[in-house]
Structure 1
Amino acid sequence: QRGKTPVMRLPASWQKLSTLGAITSNGQFLQRTQTGAVKTGDVLAFLNHLLKHVTGELVVVLDNAAIHRAKAVSAFV
């Protein structure tokens, strides 16, 4: 309808694609997209990638997803 924002409801499935992303203060965007769910090793690999390709200090913002609370991810951060 005119004047109403269209909303599409689709079933979500972690069996398809997952993405990790980062943006720097100067606008550089880094991402990793893969099929299937993101696992602890994937998060650690992405964080290592950031350390190699972004100079200076990093601020890491994680939501409360279980993968972000993994002991290995917490220890790394």
Structure 2
Amino acid sequence: MGLDLRGFKIAVIGGDQRDIYLMQELVKMGASVSAIGFSPCHELNQVQLVDRLEIAIHNVQVLILPMGGTDTE
């Protein structure tokens, strides 16, 4: 039984391939996901890609930001 995120609005602000995977999983769990800072690709076909921050974060319950300093280099 997976986590049910239906009704949750989540915004992802920038990131990399890890965040693309995260967004795919959030959508599978039923969340409505918007994102800024990503190019359109087939992996994000169920994510609302926007070009303005205020649109991405409008009425969201969860905000996910990129995490710097996690690389060993």
| TM-score when normalising by structure 2 | 0.29
Find the structure with the greater CA-based Rg: 1
- If asked which structure has higher relative contact order (CA below 8 Å, sep 6+), I would say 2
User: Which protein has the bigger helix share?
Assistant: 1
